[in-house]
Amino acid sequence: MRLRFDKTAKEKISQHPTLIRTYERDESENLTAYFARNHPLEVEIGSGKGRFIYTKAQTHPEHDFFGFELFDSAIVKGLNKTIKQPLPNLLWVRADAQYLSRFFDQNSLQTIYLNFSDPWPKARHEKRRLTHPSFLSQYAALLNDEGHVEMKTDNHDLFFYSRDTFLSEGWTLMEESHDLHQTDRPNIMTEFEERFSKTGPIYYLKARRH
């Protein structure tokens, strides 16, 4: 699903530095203590228009949240939500999440969410998949002892590639569903999920490293 280019996004982002931080490829900042309180930290990689992570922050004020998204035209949709109703426990981060380890201390994250990540279906692009072993190694270092990754996708091939990769890299599957919407598991739908769940099942897994 192609996102329409928003020519006003960059300017709006620059006007709200307390709600969103932006980093170019060679820039980073340690955000571990950004909220200055000892609450569990949760990160969504590829937050898109932001419904999922915004709703999580709304409903779980006892946790702190970061929504990572690379594209201005997408993350500005989430920013608009916090302009209308700021949340003290949510920060948008416009940055490339392949450098996630530059932003957080080891053993500092409680949850990493991967919602409808780009499947990068061609074999030559395998290393770009957010569940490639190089990414799982990074997540393992960042998650605390109780930490885990949660993944949702509508892509059959990406799901089973990811499932097999988690297992081969020594992770434990805590939960797995091949049709999430047919279960009674609580679920916050992303904008993408709401649209595309009508055409096929949504796959879900939850995995921990230890």
Catalytic residues: 118
Report how far residue 128's alpha carbon sits from residue 119's, in angstroms, rounded to the nearest whole number. Answer: 9
Widest Cα–Cα separation across the chain: 45
- In 3D space, the residue among 178, 43, 35 whose CA is nearest the CA of residue 101 turns out to be 43
Q: Percent helix, strand, coil in the chain (nearest 5)?
A: 35, 25, 40
Sequence-distant (≥ 6) Cβ neighbours of residue 186 within 8 angstroms: none
CB contact at 8 A, 202 and 179: yes
CA 183 to chain centroid: 22
Report how far residue 53's alpha carbon sits from residue 3's, in angstroms, rounded to the nearest whole number. Answer: 19
